[in-house]
Chains A and B, each alone.
Chain A
Amino acid sequence: MMGAVLAKRGRSSHILRNGGFVALPLISLIWSLADPTLGRELLEWVPYLASGFMMNILIALSAMTLGTLVGVLFGILALAPFKLVRYPVAVYVQIFRNAPHLVLIFATTYIFPFEIMIFGTYLPFPDWVKAVIGLAIPASAYVAEITRGAILSIPTTQWEAAKGLGFSRNEALRWIILPQCLRRSLPPWMNVLASITMGTALASLVGVHELLHAATDASTAVRRLDFTVIAYLVVMTAFFTLCYPISHLTRRLEGRFNAV
């Protein structure tokens, strides 16, 4: 009987989840159709808003790439046998894991120069790149923690067992330890991805031309109250459509890994 109840709950929440996935876009669509003048205004702004949203995606992907590279390196360094290496990494992780994303974005935007001189030529250092760094810093701190945790979670007996089976140290790392680390750290890594993706909206507060900023520009130009409302709805919808599949996939992966 328990099983039946659980199965029913599972199915209904599945329908609900997928229902939720289309409900938000649907509301925005119906509303904009209900008032044709509003719909037309919105349609006019769609390219502008879309260009803003591309910026969010660009910032999120770049920040995650940078953050993951640095984070994995730091995660390995955090286990180094030298205090001189371990302590600074621990301090970095401690400070930046606990720092609000917004504060880091403010810091990178206002502290970094607007251009950098490399070999005598000025290279522009645009705002969105600063936002990328501002978000890559906390991302790298989280990824360092995840990497460290994943490596520590593999029991040392596995190294010994691999050795017993005739694997060299590198082979054991490549074929036995790393695949397990990767599998364990994928769901938390995707949580970081979702969190960083949503963090890109904060870049609007320092004037990066991303979706929320574009929506503010649009409502400034249109100056209609109902347009402002729908502009915010569109922003919510866009982020939801992007982040929901990520978190849905994360949950499925978590479920599958826990089951194995």
Chain B
Amino acid sequence: MLSKAPLRALVGLALSICALSATTASADATLDRIKARGTLTVGVILSGAPFGFIDPKTQEQKGFNLDIAKGLADDLGVKLETVTVTPPNRVQFLQQGKVDILIANMQYTEERAKVLGYVPTPYDRAGGAAVGRKDSGLKDWADLKGKTACVSQGSNYTQPLIEQYGAEVKALPSQPESLLALQGGNCDVAVHVGATVGLLLQDRPEEWKNYAILFPTELIPSDSVIWLRKGEADTTAALDASVKKLHSSGKLLEFAKTNRLLKTEFLQQEQKALSAAQ
């Protein structure tokens, strides 16, 4: 009886799960649904200023990502609804249809483009910065061979850190845990989006006085794009037009300034290029 038990369970479980996944697979045109519902559901990440964080007084989400989401919803003429996502669950939430699009610190990579769709015009450019102790003696990404690097679970820095630089990667649930692990000495460096850690070091000089961004170059600097489910051409086109408008009107640059993004060269270039094209 006992040898049969697990087999039965497997079959039962597989059947019930197949039935469930069948119901999720039926995707409809996202744009129709956005229009029909009158809301754009955006998955945003709260990894800290400047991109996304909670204001204790109003308990509202604020940050660069949120401003972009608002800008897009306004342009489409719909209401905005945000869903907080974390690096380990953001792709699942998008695939499930829980969110329409992701503005969640996700840069373009070929791997991601295989499973997800994206808006071709980027809203920013970002790369990874390595925070570590000033006395660590690490000078370049290549020095990370055999060293421990903390990242967020689902981070796109995992693969280059392992495969290209031979670092040992520890992935924690989110950025604050990773930075605490760095302070506790559980990793040699923490690798996250440059703007967040840069602003953190600048705003909290006392707590972080022994730490610095160690390398002058950024890890795989790439375009931050809006991600959506694969094969939704109408939505992609509509959002692309909106993003271009945000660029050319100078709104994105404005968002970047109010949220204190440290590097705005890319946004300035894009604004010039796109407003000239019009």
Contact = CB atoms under 8 A, between A and B. Distances in A.
Establish whether A and B are touching in the complex (CB under 8 Å): yes
A48 B47 contact: no
Contact of B53 (A51, A209, A220): A220
Interface of B: 1, 5-6, 8-9, 12-13, 17, 20-21, 23-24, 46-49, 53-57, 59, 84-86, 88-89, 92-93, 96-98, 173-177, 180, 183, 200, 203-204, 207
A95 B56 contact: no
Contacts of A90: 5
A44 B54 CA distance: 12
Contacts of B86: 207
Contacts of A222: 56
B12 A220 contact: no
A206 interface: yes
Contacts of B59: 47-48, 51
A28 interface: no
B9 A91 contact: yes
Contacts of B183: 225
A73 to B, nearest CB: 17
A48 B5 contact: no
B54 A48 contact: yes
Contacts of B24: 113
Interface string A110-150: 11111111000000000000000000000000000000000
A179 interface: no
A224 B85 contact: no
9 contacts: A47-B59, A87-B1, A91-B9, A95-B13, A109-B92, A111-B17, A114-B93, A207-B85, A219-B176
Given A94-B5, A217-B46, A223 B180 contact: no
Given A91-B8, A207-B89, A224-B204, A44 B97 contact: no
Interface residues on A, range: 35 or more
A195 interface: no
A45 B56 contact: yes
Contact of B56 (A87, A114, A209, A218): A218
Contacts of B57: 44
Contacts of B6: 91
Contacts of B173: 205, 216
Interface in A216-247: 216-225, 228
A77 B175 CA distance: 47
Given A113-B97, A216-B174, A223-B204, A88 B12 contact: yes
Given A47-B59, A113-B23, A223 B203 contact: yes
Contacts of B23: 113, 116-117
Contacts of A47: 59
With most chain B CB atoms within 10 A of its CB, the pick from A41, A45, A216, A224 is A216
B4 to A, nearest CB: 8
Given A48-B54, A207-B84, A220 B176 contact: yes
Contacts of B88: 205
Nearest to B47: A220
B56 A221 contact: yes
A224 B54 CA distance: 15
A39 B84 CA distance: 27
Contacts of A51: 59
